[in-house]
Amino acid sequence: MNFAKELNPQQLVAVTHGDGPLLVLAGAGSGKTRVITFRIAWLIHEKKVDPARILGVTFTNKAADEMRQRIQKQIGPAARDVTLGTFHSLGLRILRQHSPALGYRRDFTIYNEGDQLALVRTLIREHPQKREKFDAGILLARISHYKNTLADGPREYPLFNDKYDLVFGDVFESYQRQLRACQAVDFDDLILLPIRLFREHPPILHACQEQYRYILVDEYQDTNHGQYQFISRLAARHKNLCVVGDDDQSIYGWRGAEVRNILSFTQDYPEAVVVKLEQNYRSTQVILDAAYHVIKNNSKRQDKRLWTRRGRGRNIDAFLAKDENDEAKTIAWRIQTIRERTQAPWSSFAVLYRSNVQSRALESTFRVCRIPYQVVGGYEFFERKEIKDLAAYLRVIQNPHDDLSLLRIVNYPRRGIGDHTIVYLSGQAQNQGISVFEALRQARRDSSLSKAAREGIHALVEMIGELHQYCQSAPLVQTVRLVLDRSGYREELQRTIEDPITLQNKISIVEELASAAAAYAEQNPAGRLRDFIDSISLADEPARNGHPKQQPSDAVMLVTLHSAKGLEFPYVFLCGMEEDLLPHSRSMKDAMNVDEERRLCYVGMTRAQRHLTLSLTQERNKFGKRVKRVPSRFLREIPPELICKQFSHSPYFFDRQKLPKAGDETGGETLA
């Protein structure tokens, strides 16, 4: 095998590295998977390492399978003896062999998320503080976080300064005792318990170190503390540890990833060889240069300057739209124009955005323009639970006799109308040949029902009646706002969701319905609530008919920036380049979080192969009201010579003079 012929000079240095630690800083599109697979092949083919002594660790089974297929093509059947898998599959392999040392049978059970939630719910019900309402999902997330930070030994329980502090310690200890009693482990234990094995049983650690003399880790920048400890202990004896990653693409801090693991590698291993893969095989030089000028402003990073032989390419397009609807229309027009000129398939295009709610305007516009699209890593706007719930409210307000919609919202938010009452009322309606709403009206005087149920029914009937009357003459946007206020839906989210990030995401989705109504009213000035409901129904038609929505085989991809990592497209549109969106408002008070937002922007920009378009708006609808927008600080960081002077479709041209300066906390002048 001629490795020199197959690899560029930097890749060859990494692949043919001998013994000792190796850090491969693989820039976007630089062929990191190629380096890992070729290095494994080189170790076996040239260095004569026993394949059974090689371990490759990835984050997904798909990545592990792809690696194995590539290695098999290079060296044949010997690839079967290489251990390739995820962190959790490696932990499971070790535990199945050595779990008796920790008091577990080898046939222990692995609890999935459903099992874990059921257990936590039981523990909440048994806790002295059970009168408080605790979300099992939040407690489970905190248990997971605690376990992943506990990898190096016991410590005090974390304080979140909320009501969950009252129960966390008790629930955690009971949770662990119950797992042990059931001879069960959860997914976090697949990392935590091997570390405990290594710490308490040195001979087992020694045996595992001898088993895996050469270790290669993919996407090292995404490792959390537990995974770091796991690999560090496993590699401590021979130090033949090769980690591949890119600190500039570390975007999962919110789920525990620690970018310092890759940044401190040379401190952990002073003798480490560092190889930078800077030749990019994906993008044009303009795209790479623009992305570099953004990412270089992060304070803590390993400097890399990507280059390519794909040519300079054309400058980046950047345009300022009036609002999110003009932004979506301009993107749609641009996609159609490029398709007419190049005959490129729809799948050549991707629209990237920071927040899920940004997809609403895009989806609406694409449907009108008959552009096939697919939402990647999420639900279409009108298929989200929150929107389905609120759409049911609107249908009931328009038509109180819509039984299906009424039954969906009769006790959400909770108003004391339990399941038994709902079954009883449905039966009354069926027996009398009346609507459920009429049954509710009658039930206000039904003494067989509890006082709480009658009060809840009365409040619901009165609200529906008042709003039904109001919507007959009131403007659409005011009607939708009033329904959102009177329904108590946002307040219910605030009562039941403790995690601030989850809560903010849910509320943003709820408020976006008012924005959708405002957009509809602008396009249909005479439209009323019924017309708006009809537009929602048409968007949701396949789901309401019980048929799954068919994903088109050739479609424009609508992708959040977090879901875009690892993907690439010839034409990329990165929209919403505005303060409070990118960088997101949640990151503004913490420099480390702003750094991660900048990495997120970098990831989005480097998804583009041939051409990149950036967009921002003068204003956006927020809860049905126009809010002035400020351009993202990341735009200022792109040199003007890399951006087209004008964009021919939208009358709202990109004006660099009004962009905030790099590092501005307030963003700069608001566009008028």
**Residues with catalytic function:** 32-33, 218-219, 249, 607
Which residues does 562 contact at the CB level (< 8 Å), separation at least 6?
251, 252, 377, 600
Could you tell me where the DSSP H helices lie in 540-622? 541-544, 561-564, 591-605
- Alpha carbon 64 to its chain's center: 22
395: its two tokens:
């249908």
- Pick the closest to residue 205 from 97, 107, 106, 108 (CA basis): 97
Q: How many CB atoms lie within 10 A of CB 545?
A: 7
Number of helical H runs and strand E runs in the chain: 29, 16
Yes or no: say if 84 and 112 are a contact pair by the CB < 8 Å rule.
Answer: no
Could you tell me where the DSSP H helices lie in 160-284? 168-181, 189-200, 202-211, 225-235, 260-263, 265-268
Which neighbouring-strand residues pair with 613? 317, 573
Amino acid at 386: E
310: left (phi over 0), alpha (psi -120 to 50) or beta: alpha
| Burial (CB count within 10 angstroms: exposed 0-12, middle 13-18, buried 19+), residue 465 | middle
Yes or no: say if 480 and 394 are a contact pair by the CB < 8 Å rule.
Answer: yes
- Pick the closest to residue 605 from 335, 357, 295, 297 (CA basis): 295
Alpha-carbon gap, residue 360 to 382, rounded angstroms: 8
- Pick the closest to residue 230 from 265, 260, 191, 264 (CA basis): 191
User: In terms of DSSP bridges, do strands 619-622 and 625-628 run parallel, antiparallel, or are they unpaired?
Assistant: antiparallel
Yes or no: say if 410 and 548 are a contact pair by the CB < 8 Å rule.
Answer: no
Please report, in angstroms and rounded to a whole number, the separation of the first and last CA atoms in the chain: 63
Distances (CA, A) of 340 to 336, 345, 605: 6, 10, 24
51: left (phi over 0), alpha (psi -120 to 50) or beta: alpha
Alpha-carbon gap, residue 172 to 378, rounded angstroms: 31
Distances (CA, A) of 357 to 194, 309, 384: 41, 38, 10
Which neighbouring-strand residues pair with 350? 557, 572
Which residues does 475 contact at the CB level (< 8 Å), separation at least 6?
521
> What is the DSSP secondary structure assignment for residue 201, as one 8-state letter?
-
Could you tell me where the DSSP H helices lie in 201-323? 202-211, 225-235, 260-263, 265-268, 285-295
Q: How many CB atoms lie within 10 A of CB 18?
A: 9
CA triple 318-376-186, angle to 5 deg: 130
Phi then psi dihedrals of residue 374, to 5 deg: -140, 130
Alpha-carbon gap, residue 298 to 281, rounded angstroms: 24
- Pick the closest to residue 162 from 465, 491, 494 (CA basis): 494
